[in-house]
Amino acid sequence: MFDLTFYILVFTIFSYVTVGFIVIANNPRTAANRILLSFSLLAGLWALAILIIYVNDNPAITLFWIRASHALGVLAPWHILALISSLYGEDPLHDKKLRTALAVSIIMACIAVSPYLIIGLEEPADENRLIYSNFTYLFIVFLFGMIVNALWQVFGRLKRSRGRIRIQINYFFTGLLISALLISAVNLILPIIGIIS
């Protein structure tokens, strides 16, 4: 039987990793290319976590990968901020605000893989309903704030940009939009209309 979700996730993993390695092979010295490789591998790992959750029947393994997907997801907005900064020739690791955002993102990722964010799975465990801790509210506020800040930076820089940098930001934003649409399709739209379960 043809499983559309499985193939979309495999294609997503392959696409992210391929783009990352093509970019870094083109010029491994630039900060922007290194950050884009890191972001591509992060996104590929996140898609792999979703794939493992989708195909796995073991509740313990499922719980581990659900926690891992939250940890990987909370690191993504920092990569967007760092990439936009690096496209302008800035070193994101020398920017105090970006270093602080990275440190807090790493702390949040560590919390996400621990029982302090997701306590466990509700019974029956095969339905993957999560039991969240009270820390979840802080996690959501931080993640939402980072996403809004990243999008604000992308749009702000895009409005002020010209030439090659504007094209690069447009390509990056288009890639993010396509990814968001694919993720929404797999997790929300296709299940609602009954194409996948």
For the stretch 27-47, pLDDT in tens is: 888 888 899 899 999 999 999
**pTM for this predicted structure:** 0.81
CA distances from 163 to 11, 67, 86, 159, 167 (A): 31, 41, 16, 12, 7
Which of 116-120, 177-181, 186-190 shows the lowest mean pLDDT across its residues? 186-190
Q: Which domain holds residue 95?
A: 4-193
What pLDDT is attached to residue 189? 47
Provide mean pLDDT across the span 135-151: 85
pLDDT score of 146 more than 50: yes
Domain count within the chain: 1
For tokens 């739209």, the residue is: 189
Q: H/E element holding 106?
A: helix 96-112
Beta-carbon-side half-sphere exposure of residue 99 (alpha carbons within 13 Å): 6
What pLDDT is attached to residue 153? 80
The more confident residue out of 124 and 46 is 46
What pLDDT is attached to residue 188? 44
Give the C-alpha separation, 182 to 26, whole Å: 27
Cβ pair 69, 49 in contact under 8 A:
yes
Identity of the highest mean pLDDT range in 62-66, 143-147, 180-184: 62-66
Q: H/E element holding 164?
A: helix 163-184
